[in-house]
Amino acid sequence: MLKSITPATPKPNRLRFPRAARLRASREFALVRKQGRTAQGRLLRISVVRMEEEQPTRFGIITSRKVGGAVDRNRTRRRLRELCRLSRPEVLAGWLVVVVAKSPAASASFSELREEWLQLARRLSIVPRSDDRKAESN
């Protein structure tokens, strides 16, 4: 049997967006909607509410039919899920975050979505600003 020359790839479960990092119950979404702070841009609306700091931040994603048909909604949902997965290390602990896709999000590129996500997350203070990170490293 031939062995691959390429380096070992990470285990598939390391690349997943785990259930523990997701909002699933409607009462959690309702809590964020009622008690949370909101920031919105052209592509996204993000609502957050502070929980206990020891708990990891959890994300919920909403893509309504305003975004488009099933294919567009699912594509947008996958992009937002990946965005949340990649952003997990940057986001401070102890938040419930709900990301709502607006209709232009379906035609936006991943980099546009990421740029707006970071801008809104900084506005809501769930991600440290870039100048804060520089001060910590010095």
Q: What confidence tier does 8 reach under pLDDT thresholds 50, 70, 90?
A: low
Angle, vertex CA 55, rays to CA 91 and CA 38, nearest 5: 50
Residue at 11 is within a domain: no
Radius of gyration of the chain (CA): 17
117 occurs within a structural domain: yes
Q: What is the pLDDT of residues 52-62, one digit of tens each?
A: 878 889 999 99
Number of domains in the chain: 1
pTM of the prediction?
0.81
In a domain, 5, yes or no: no
Asked if residue 66 is part of any domain, the answer here is yes
User: Which CATH number do you get for residue 110?
Assistant: 3.30.230.10
Q: What is the pLDDT of residue 103?
A: 96
Residue 117 sits in which domain range? 20-123
Res. 70: pLDDT tops 60 = yes
pLDDT of 135: 47
- Other C-beta atoms closer than 10 Å to the C-beta of 91 total 20
Is 112 domain-assigned? yes
DSSP string covering 56-73: PPEEEEE--GGG-SHHHH
Please report whether residue 1 resides in a domain: no
Give residue-wise pLDDT tens across range 82-133.
Answer: 999 999 889 999 999 999 999 999 999 999 999 999 999 999 999 987 755 4
Query: Is residue 14 domain-resident?
Result: no
Q: What is the pLDDT of residues 19-67, one digit of tens each?
A: 888 999 999 999 999 999 999 999 999 999 999 878 889 999 999 999 9
Asked whether residue 86 is domain-assigned, the answer is: yes
